[in-house]
Structure 1
Amino acid sequence: MLIGGINTFSMIDYPDKTSCIVFTVSCNLRCPFCHNPEFVLPEKIQEIKNDLIPQKVFLNFLEKRKGLLQGVSICGGEPTLQKDLFDFCEKIKEMGFLIKLDTNGQDPKILNELIKNKLIDYIAMDIKYPFYKYNEMLGVKNLNIESYKKSINIIINSNINYEFRTTVIKGFHSIEIFEDTVKEIKGANNFFIQNYQSGKTLDNDFTGKSFTNKELQDLQKIAYKYINNVGIRN
């Protein structure tokens, strides 16, 4: 596993669980608003290659957290690009921890295998825009949109806890674009609207802004037309 960083304790990343967060490196997308460019851009990854955390070091850390942590959140980057993800999850599960996987949904086959082999307990999948905007807005051309649709179907029909989530950015997510985004996951159980926060971004010239609380609540009302449970993370 190529581990770029670890957050040793979180009470919010894994819903209702105490967890640590593992940040894997590499991603198939180039979202201009991404806050983790050091884990995405090859030239940035090259700069931190000597600081990558060996898997053994992380597992030793986890061994000492038995009884203190309930779960491990694996995010990135995009974790499903890691060749030894299955082995990594198996080792964590053998230690008695729950696993939450954060993904953009780029590889439905891997998601299906992880679920089938009971290697993950919670999935959080990002729905960034309606799929007709993906090739325009995510910095990569010729994405296989059907793969993302298959991932949604696999997650919704799985027997594990899950959430879909969209980071909404003022100036980029109009009411129409937001509603079309939510339609992509119509019938899902859980959806979270995440308000964009300014900070470092993959594109240094990115100019997105946050929504107001009132505007977020208006978006929530729209989402409720399609989703059973809709939360706001401001």
Structure 2
Amino acid sequence: MVCRDPGLSAGTEAHMSELDVRGWQRTSLIDFPGHISTVLFTVGCNFRCPMCHNADLVLRPSALPRIDLDAVWDLLERRRGKITGVVLTGGEPTLQPTLPAFLEEIHRRGFRTKLDTNGYRPEVLRELIRRRLVDYVAMDVKGPPTLYARLAGLSDLDLARIETSLALLRDADVPYELRTTVVPGMLDRAAIEALVRWLAGLGLGEGTSYVLQQFRTVRTLDPALQQVTPYGASVLQAMAEEARRWLPAVGVRGL
């Protein structure tokens, strides 16, 4: 028998359980700046990025066991004071209808929230920011406008949706980072330069943390990319140095 949280009604408990989580990293020291966190992976995505290394969450979610959220709440209570944050990633969490209620419940229990998103549902991001349900946002920026659809794995893409999400982050008082996975053969130095110049042109300069992420060849959505050799550290560092001409705070991750 499951013991009901006295702070939740039966209806709210049922509502919480609807969040479809199919992956769980119980403890992370690196995913949420300033916090030890637990990381929840939601299913489904509106992109088909060829470099995605969570392909099962996107293409075969039914093959993954559903995470019992009671176990998540139990871990958070047992590790209260050590774990201080919860990361929602995916997949694409903004596709989950119960995401706002779930984030609200995390806050009610005294934990901070971080959202990883591709930014393609600005209407959801706007609501989460308005209701102060997110304490940190990490948004993937796939590439410059001319390459965005290809990097997102779509035949057609509404770039205005991406730019709206970028403007929301720019104008909000929520800490955020933008990040790009640098895939050889898809993004080179010229593409990264075009990308950061585009971001700077949108007013994302001072105060914007931008990260170039090393490409990982493990379990990519496009199997052909598993044979690609990632850029060396010196190449990524050189890209970051050039990017700082337009965005002051540029880092490299995953080396």
What is the identity, as a one-letter code, of the residue corresponding to 1:69?
Answer: I
Matches for 1:7-18 after TM superposition, within 5 Å:
7-18=25-36
CA contact (8 A) 2:151 2:186 kept: no
Q: Which has the larger radius of gyration?
A: 2
Partners of 1:112 and 1:83 lie apart in 2 by 15
Q: Deviations over 1:5-50 (max 9, x none)?
A: 1111111111121111110110001111110011001xx11222xx
Deviating beyond 6 angstroms after TM superposition, the runs of 4 or more aligned structure 1 residues are: none
CA contact (8 A) 1:172 1:208 kept: no
Q: 1:196 aligns with which of 206, 215, 235?
A: 215
Counterpart in 2 of 1:124? 138
How many aligned residue pairs are there? 230
Counterpart in 2 of 1:224? 244
Matches for 1:157-176 after TM superposition, within 5 Å:
157-176=171-190
- Report the TM-score when normalising by structure 1: 0.94
Partners of 1:172 and 1:219 lie apart in 2 by 14
Partners of 1:132 and 1:7 lie apart in 2 by 35
Is the deviation greater in 21-30 or in 194-203?
Answer: 194-203
Matches for 1:108-187 after TM superposition, within 5 Å:
108-186=122-200, 187=204
> Structure 1 residue 47 and structure 2 residue 63: aligned?
yes
Deviation at residue 129 of structure 1 after TM alignment: 1.0
Q: Deviations over 1:95-143 (max 9, x none)?
A: 1111110000011111111111110100000011112212223222222
CA contact (8 A) 2:184 2:230 kept: yes
What is the identity, as a one-letter code, of the residue corresponding to 1:216?
Answer: L
Partners of 2:45 and 2:252 lie apart in 1 by 26
Partners of 1:197 and 1:143 lie apart in 2 by 25
Unpaired runs of 5+ residues, structure 1, are none
Unpaired runs of 5+ residues, structure 2, are 1-18
Partners of 2:101 and 2:168 lie apart in 1 by 21
Residues 133 and 8 from structure 1, CA distance in 2 versus in 1: closer, same or farther, beyond 3 angstroms? same
Query: What is the RMSD computed on CA atoms of the aligned residues?
Result: 1.3
- Report the TM-score when normalising by structure 2: 0.86
Identity %: 35
